[in-house]
Structure 1
Amino acid sequence: MTDIGVHAVRQRVRRGAGRIGAATPPGRDRAVDALRAAAVLGVVLGHWLVTALVSDGRTLRTASPLHHMPWLAPVSWTFQTLAVFFLVGGHIATRGHASARARGVPYRQWLTARLSRLFKPVAAVLTLWTVAAVALLLSGTEYGTVRTLVKLALSPLWFLLVFAGLTAATPLLARLNPLWPLAVVLHVDLLRFGLGGPAWLGWVNVAAGWAVPYTLGAAWTRGELERRRAGWILLVGGAAATAGLVAWAGYPASMVGVPGQGVSNLYPPTLAVVTFGLAQCGGALLLRERLRHAMRRPVAWAAVALVNLTAMTVFLWHQTALMASTATGLLAGRLPGLHTPPDGLAWVGDRLLWLPVFVLVLAVCCAAFRSFEGSGGGRLSGGELSGEGLSGEGLSGEGLGGEGRGRGSRVVRAHRPSDRGAAKAARHV
């Protein structure tokens, strides 16, 4: 591309970013959107880096580089960002509920508006993979391969089920001290690991474990986490507790599940992953002011806005993009970093080279299925930024979002860094 062409592209990007910035209400807390975008991208990159589909003849099986190279566990510390999801989600949901209550919106109407937009994008994933699974089985594909693919494709749905349950409990969780669900996680782990209790007890932590960052989000709404001291306590205390649990209590160092590992920190959540989440939440809170400053740059804010506008689609389809790339690549043979065992640094280097391919395939998925994410149909307009499209009410603008006020509503007005009125209302929820 010539210098003139590069300059023209830059000008177009700047003009587009300027339009997005102009369409954003001035009172919007852009740090919240930045944290949400970082959490989405962290999960996506984490899955792409630690999930391998190994080709053994006609069969595909899952493998993880963390199984062969456990010293890569810090990769999971970087990209396991689910606690930030729940922190932001709890903050936004409690603000939204307090605002809806102040306007006289009934709880049922508020909850229906928040959850109804989940069904279209989830239904699209379920429909496509039902058809794909039947077609693969009828074509003679090994059952084990089909099971592996479907399990990976639908694995993001567990998050949405937990998130939906916590959202439904928002009126109760808005008043709950995070120490209560943390105490539940602690006692469950003591029973499981210390006293030899049944393994099924661990599934209690699915709700209790993720309720910890969710209720921290509610505390953020109440104005209890505004001082930097709170962020430092969470960061240092959570990191120290996690280090102690890994070093002396026998918890795995990896914060994601590793095939073949006896205990997973994530499925179901353990005390270690919850304390690690506390450290993540502390770091996120400490970054708020820097993110607000960084989001004043038009191009940076435009990138964050675009991620938020397609967050549900990216989240639901990123595993499909990985599998589509892997399956298509089989036509060219057994490719390194795509079909080979993740048993050395060479695989890591090869996998990094495949990331742009995954991004391209995911972009195709977003173009094809973005319309299921909401009524915006992929438009990026002022109405989307100020109303339904990039609302502050959930995983993405449309995915778990909206206060239910209808098309073109100014939902993001409930999303300000220093709205003491909303914080006061939240205390009385």
Structure 2
Amino acid sequence: MRRLRQLAERTPAGRERYADLLRALAIVLVVLGHWIISVIGRDQAGRPTGHSALGDLPWAWPLTWVLQVMPVFFLVGGYANAAALTAWRSRNGNATGWLIDRSSRLIRPTTALLVILAIGGAVAWLRGADPSQIRTVVWFATIPLWFLVAYLVVVPLTPVMYALHRRVGLVVPLVLVGLVALGDLGRILGPDRLATGNYLFGWLAVHQLGFAWYDARGPSPAEPRRGGADRPGLHRRRLPTSRRAGAVLLLVGLVALVLLTRVGPYPVAMLNVPGERLDNTAPPSVALLAAATAQLGLILLLQNPARRWLRGSGPWQAVIAVNAVVLTVFLWHLTAAVLLVGLLDTLGVLPTPQVGTAAWWAWRVPWLLALAVVLAALVAVFGPIEARTRRHGRTSAGGPVRTALVALGYAGPVAGLLWNSLTPKIAAEPLGLPAPALVAYLAGAGLLRLLRSGWGSRG
């Protein structure tokens, strides 16, 4: 608590605390959402299985318009990346050094998760477990990594995309929305491959709005505000942040959502529902971007009371505490579910009520409490890896060789995580993770670690 008080007292006056609150809330809602909708059953062999309850609860689908908060995370990510890049350049740093520094907090906690899962898979395999079953368990635990793949791709694009934003402003996200719409047409009318780019364009569009939000801030020491008005029309760089703008965005987003899901071909749910022709998140659809627009409007409407609340020492300390381990919480929350199910099954006390029944709803309370205890234990063990990750703030020069090494190192984790996400959950993988994917990830992460230590800075 003393440490939290010190951090709260040292918070710069110009820090956007609301962005930190939104990041923390987004991850907490993801965790609670996954836990609440999880359904535990048994297969024909009597082994525990799991799936989402959304397919059996159609009345809950409109709730996902608020509870699908990945757009919020990308919005805050755009704000944070723009702020970090601006501060880095104010110290005469280049984009290559910024990427090395920025990747540290993403890579280190993820490496810990993958190594522990691989070790657990290897132990299970040596004890005679079926490789397909090992993969199924690890696949479930690594579901959060699909999001991290998208975010890891967006981050290195920040220097280029922020420069583009500074030139043409809100034109960029509008063009990206058009590309997403084109991809959706491919999914609806064919060919499906037209929608592949939506995995990038959709999240990148929301990330760009984070830049516009950052540019709407007041003057900062890192980058004094230039004189003159912002560009008019769609070329404006600053996000309108008034309550009126928030109300308009909320209304436009909701109207678009109703039309797209009730009249148009899109599912109501913003999360995957088995049996639906389209998936609004894989890849992101125009409907998901409409939900993101409504969420942005709500965020703007709530910003003033939220900022007043965050002036209090207690609320701000809580936000600091969550953000110190926010990625650890996200990465390990489904592993906590796997461990709890395994423990209860071993003890012979694993409830498997039918979804939607009174027994199933009653089980939600002890289920959530037990999961919170398990996750708290995991965060206590692995949280320090994230919390102690320090950005060095180095601005050491580096030539083309160093830049190429950074690109190669960064590509390793992206390729490894993508490979894992594309590998079927019933594949025979003795480690639970595809061995080539694990090797690619660890090789890239190791190279980035060397580069952060200063190796290759004379290249």
TM-score (normalised: structure 2): 0.74
CA contact (8 A) 2:242 2:300 kept: no
Q: Secondary structure at the match of 1:265?
A: coil
- Find the partner of 1:219 among 209, 212, 235: 212
CA distance in 2, matches of 1:182, 1:321: 36
Aligned to 1:29: 16
Distance 1:153 1:200, change over 3 A: farther
Which aligned pairs between 1:172-191 and structure 2 lie closer than 5 A? 172-174=160-162, 175-176=164-165, 177-191=172-186
Deviations 1:118-152 (A, max 9, x none): 22211111111112223334444455543332112
Deviation at 1:24, TM superposition (A): 2.7
- 1:78 paired residue number: 66
Q: Provide the C-alpha distance between the structure 2 equivalents of 1:122 and 1:305, rounded to a whole number of angstroms.
A: 20
2-structure distance, mates of 1:18, 1:375: 17
- Over 3 Å counting, the alpha-carbon distance change for 1:322 and 1:293 in structure 2 is same
Mapping 1:326-341, distance limit 5 Å: 326-333=341-348, 335-336=350-351, 339-341=352-354
Q: Which residue of 1 aligns with 2:363?
A: 350
Shift of 1:345: 4.6
Q: Give the equivalent residue in structure 1 for 2:108.
A: 120
Q: 1:120 to 1:293 in 2, by over 3 A?
A: same
> CA 1:145/1:252 → structure 2, altered by over 3 Å: closer, same or farther?
farther
Match of 2:191 among 191, 198, 207: 198
User: Secondary structure of 1:41's partner?
Assistant: helix
Relative distance call for 1:80 and 1:229 in structure 2 (3 A) is same
Superposed, 1:100-249 pairs within 5 Å as 100-174=88-162, 175-176=164-165, 177-193=172-188, 195=189, 197-223=190-216, 224-225=238-239, 226-249=241-264
Select 2:313's aligned residue among 288, 298, 312: 298
Distance 1:345 1:206 in 2: 38
* Counterpart in the other structure of 1:365: 378
Name the CA distance, whole Å, in 2 between partners of 1:292 and 1:31.
6
Percent of residue pairs bearing the same amino acid type: 36
Change (3 A) 1:144 1:250: farther
Q: In the alignment, residue 25 of structure 2 is paired with which amino acid?
A: A
Indicate which of 304, 308, 321 corresponds to 2:336: 321
Q: Is the 8 A contact 2:186 2:192 kept in 1?
A: no
Structure 1, unaligned runs of 5 or more: 1-12, 377-387, 389-401, 407-429
SS in 2 for 1:287: helix
Cα distance, 1:116–1:292 mapped onto 2, change above 3 Å = same
Q: Distance in 2 between matches of 1:45 and 1:37?
A: 12
The alignment's TM-score, normalised by the length of structure 1, stands at 0.79
CA distance in 2, matches of 1:87, 1:106: 23
Q: Distance in 2 between matches of 1:109 and 1:47?
A: 36
Paired residue secondary structure (1:352)? helix
Matched letter for residue 61 of structure 2 = A
Partner amino acid, structure 2, of 1:230: A
Segment drifting more, 260-269 vs 105-114: 260-269
After TM superposition, the structure 1 = structure 2 runs for residues 266-277 of structure 1, keeping only pairs within 5 Å, are 266-277=281-292
State the distance in 2 between where 1:334 and 1:208 align.
46
Q: Does 1:251 align with 2:289?
A: no
Residue in structure 2 matched with residue 414 of structure 1 by the alignment: none
- Which secondary structure state, in structure 2, belongs to the residue aligned with residue 217 of structure 1? helix
Whole-angstrom CA distance in 2 between matches of 1:105 and 1:283: 36
* Counterpart position of 1:399: none
Partners of 2:354 and 2:271 lie apart in 1 by 19
Show CA shifts across 1:257-293 (max 9, x none): 1234443221222221121112112212222221111
**3-state SS, counterpart of residue 61 of structure 1:** strand
Query: 2:107 & 2:96 partners in 1: Cα distance?
Result: 17
| Structure 2: gaps (5+ residues) | 166-171, 217-237, 396-459
- Deviation track 1:368-419 (CA, whole Å, cap 9, x = no partner) reads 112221536xxxxxxxxxxx5xxxxxxxxxxxxx48359xxxxxxxxxxxxx
Contact 1:77 1:254 in 2 (8 A): yes
* Contact preservation (8 Å) 2:26, 2:69: yes
RMSD over equivalenced CA pairs, Å = 2.2
